[in-house]
Structure 1
Amino acid sequence: MSADRATSFGSEAENYEAGRPEYPFEAVAWMLERMPQGARRIADVGAGTGKLTRVIRQAPDAEVVAVDPDPEMLAALRRSVPGIPTFQGSAEHMPVPDASLDAVTLGQAWHWVDPLAASVELGRVVRTGGVLGLIWNIRDERVEWVRRLTDIMHSSPAENMVNGPESEGPRIAEPFGEVETQRWEWNRAMTRAQLHRMALSRSYLITAPVEERTEIIRHMDALFDELGLEGEGTIDLPYVTHVFRAVRG
């Protein structure tokens, strides 16, 4: 998996914040509900611009910190979610002490990590009985125009891991136990401009040559023309939120 793609998002932080969807609160609540009673220390890893961080912060008494390898993304997070402590780091290299957390979450991020090394390192910082939660918003390609959109933009590592034809889901290793999973289906109304910003926040387009990026945008516009999507008009983009959780033994 390309390291350039994994660390490319900072240059498009504004498009990431504008174009990527939020996470359903119910899905995030389910991801964290197996935390021990009274637990509240949570690290959002690969936090990006804070899409997941801001939902976690809604939990009662939550003490949330954000961790990301990209300082540009952390700067965007501090603007979008003021008051959250931020640290540069990754799932494989956490900047926190042993057994100092009740939960670690990763939104749209586990497909960029080494699952074995990350499981060991997160097992170091999560106390016994704590939770590792993984969540992805994936476009629902059972809808024909959405499938065509993905063909134009190219699939992502996340889509292949979570929803690919041969996918077995994310790999989580010891000291975490059995992986539980749930999914939520919902729609997000989007304008043509928002769809373009979503596409421009994707690692494939960020790292593509200018000529290829221009061609992708041209094909997207042809699809939107066919759908009659103009100006401030919107179309419902269907999503499936896939959630996984595992308790540290």
Structure 2
Amino acid sequence: MDSTPAIHRAAADGYAKGADTYVRGRPDYPPEIDAWLHETLGLTAGSTVLDLGAGTGKFTPRLLATGARVIAVEPVAAMLAKLAATQPGVRTMVGKAEAIPLPDASVDVVVCAQAFHWFATAEALTEIHRVLKPGGRLALVWNMRDARVPWVARMDSIVNEFEGDAPRYYTGAWRKAFPHPGFGAMDERHYANHHTGSPEDVILNRVRSTSFISALPPQKQALVDERLRALIAAEPELRDQAVVTVPYDTAAYCLARLD
């Protein structure tokens, strides 16, 4: 029997239902990430990188652009199918962070983009340590809406009301998994980012792509949509605009395997 932890119900249900919306609603990453992948993580042609919790592959093209060989592991089959369809050169595998289907010391870098908060446990870190080569890197990346902007904070409050017990990056609970044996100190970087497009995509579809929102019953999803549309109508920066910009902060963390 599989003794690894089950996928959180918000991820299993929400992401399976909302894979298409995830593709449309999620922001890209800032250009500074490309230099970080090369200079901090050391990714080059000849490297092997594991995209762990890869989802639909939103971050995967950044990894491919380094020239590295990319392996994508994701527990939600519907999301992995989207990645496989758009990135046929990537080796894809269904799997969990607590039971990675790869040999010991087989990858140079493990990247968790928008994912680590789902499996921020000692068990997952021990498994990540196992598949990393000595001297390899663990990288954690998140795009977070910049709630210092008042209307963004109001948008977040609508979303957060429905989070229940779903793990979230913004709470900082994921940090409790560190320090962990075999990993060095955490290097932390932040980059300004933004998501520009129609309000339907960068606000409504972005929120709909949130796991626990996608898992809501239809009447509650409609309520969230209604409240977001009211926010758009009340905010001068958003009202009657065909194209809007949501500000983001991209956080990038790196830890080295020490032994």
Q: Please, what TM-score do these two structures have when normalized by structure 1?
A: 0.90
- Matched residue, 1:199: 207
- Partner SS for 2:110: strand
- C-alpha contact (below 8 Å) 2:120/2:177 kept by paired residues: no
C-alpha displacement of 1:176: 1.3
2:8 to 3, 8, 12: 3
- Partner SS for 1:161: coil
Change (3 A) 1:126 1:146: same
- Matched residue, 1:147: 153
1:177 to 180, 184, 203: 184
Pairing 1:218–2:241 present: no
- Matched residue, 1:15: 21
Once the two structures are superposed, residues 213-236 of structure 1 have per-residue CA deviations (whole angstroms, 9 ceiling, x without a partner) of 211110101111123546771121
- Whole-Å separation in 2 of the counterparts to 1:16 and 1:36: 29
- Partner SS for 2:177: coil
Pairing 1:81–2:87 present: yes
- C-alpha contact (below 8 Å) 2:30/2:192 kept by paired residues: no
Once the two structures are superposed, residues 122-171 of structure 1 have per-residue CA deviations (whole angstroms, 9 ceiling, x without a partner) of 11000110000000000000000100111112276334334xxxx68463
- C-alpha contact (below 8 Å) 1:104/1:126 kept by paired residues: yes
Q: How does 1:1-249 map to 2 (within 5 A)?
A: 3-7=8-12, 8-31=14-37, 33-35=39-41, 40-59=47-66, 61-154=67-160, 157-162=167-172, 169=175, 171-172=177-178, 173-194=180-201, 195-227=203-235, 229=238, 233-249=242-258
- Partner SS for 2:105: coil
Q: Please, what TM-score do these two structures have when normalized by structure 2?
A: 0.86
- C-alpha contact (below 8 Å) 1:137/1:240 kept by paired residues: yes
Change (3 A) 1:11 1:109: same
- C-alpha contact (below 8 Å) 1:34/1:247 kept by paired residues: no
Q: Percent identity?
A: 32
Once the two structures are superposed, residues 86-112 of structure 1 have per-residue CA deviations (whole angstroms, 9 ceiling, x without a partner) of 001121111110001000000111110
Once the two structures are superposed, residues 187-231 of structure 1 have per-residue CA deviations (whole angstroms, 9 ceiling, x without a partner) of 221312102111111012112232222111101011111235467
Greater shift, 114-123 or 29-38, is seen at 29-38
- C-alpha contact (below 8 Å) 1:32/1:103 kept by paired residues: no
Change (3 A) 1:33 1:93: farther
- Whole-Å separation in 2 of the counterparts to 1:53 and 1:36: 16
Structure 2 residues without counterparts, runs of 5 or longer: 1-5
C-alpha displacement of 1:185: 1.0
- Whole-Å separation in 2 of the counterparts to 1:78 and 1:47: 11
- Whole-Å separation in 2 of the counterparts to 1:87 and 1:146: 36
- C-alpha contact (below 8 Å) 1:47/1:68 kept by paired residues: yes
User: Between Structure 1 and Structure 2, how many residues are aligned?
Assistant: 244
Letter in 1 for 2:29: Y
Greater shift, 197-206 or 186-195, is seen at 186-195
Q: CA RMSD of the aligned region, Å?
A: 2.2
C-alpha displacement of 1:80: 2.3
C-alpha displacement of 1:247: 0.3
C-alpha displacement of 1:115: 2.1
